[in-house]
Homo-oligomer: A and B are copies of this chain.
């Protein structure tokens, strides 16, 4: 894709995911302005030609298509709505795209605030982890105005390969919540199945060979259960971030009067794990719940 003359991309949050995603945009030839809480994390991009900004305000002043992918909804709120944030300092006609997994309600608030400044805000959380970000295989779930989505879609295509417009502002975040809800209960099932197999005196690797390909099969069973068995609990996805996501999903479900007993159970097990010091382990460390 050719770079339109007037597009300057801003990127806020150059952690494991953001760094790869920003790198794809830079490689495609776009001028890139970056800001991250920890400047060192942006060094690789700066060496490749990205320009450093000292604040989100500076990003808003220099760029007109701005991606954000940070940690928590409170971070998103500050970056978008704070005094030195994007919206108070933004330019009319800009596009702001939040890829953080954050609250659907906050996505709505940001959309409305942006609108008053003539800015299109889009929520576009992703799934696929660090590998997906590196290999351009992310699933991108998009909420906001459809015209705005179509305008920035060529940029999404540089970042992911399963890009679906889900509806109005917040719909991307709601879709990601649905994703996390499906994962939450399944992680319990995967762990219980493996621990049961071990306790029954079976060879869990052989059990996986029997059960992975059929009706019990899942991405977690195929990808995370083998790591449990080799004791590798390095984070593909942090427990602390998963707890954040489950809290958002539970709050939304409560708002809808929707009982989610599986999600509630998963959250309580993960919170116990976090208390035991596992918040920086990968989500598959749920296995350890049965080992403490």
Contact = CB atoms under 8 A, between A and B. Distances in A.
Interface of A: 104, 127-129, 132, 139, 141, 162, 164-167, 171, 174-175, 177-186, 188-190, 192-197, 199-203, 206-207, 209-211, 213-221, 223, 237, 249, 252-253, 256, 258-263, 265, 269, 290
Given A196-B253, A196-B256, A218-B219, 12 more contacts: A128-B214, A128-B215, A139-B210, A167-B201, A171-B200, A171-B202, A175-B206, A178-B194, A179-B214, A179-B215, A182-B189, A182-B211
B186 A216 contact: yes
B189 A193 contact: no
Contacts of A174: 196-197, 200-202
A129 B166 CA distance: 34
A165 B209 CA distance: 10
A214 B256 contact: no
A237 B223 CA distance: 26
A141 B262 contact: no
A264 to B, nearest CB: 9
Contacts of A184: 189
A132 B213 CA distance: 12
B210 A179 contact: yes
A166 B207 CA distance: 7
Contacts of A162: 209-210, 213-214
A188 B218 contact: no
A202 to B, nearest CB: 6
A139 B260 contact: no
Given A195-B258, A196-B258, A203 B166 contact: yes
A165 B210 CA distance: 9
A211 B217 CA distance: 15
Give 6 closest A-B pairs by Cβ, nearest first. Answer: A185-B189, A218-B218, A188-B262, A182-B193, A182-B216, A174-B200
A73 B260 CA distance: 33
Contacts of A269: 261
A181 B188 CA distance: 9
A179 B190 CA distance: 9
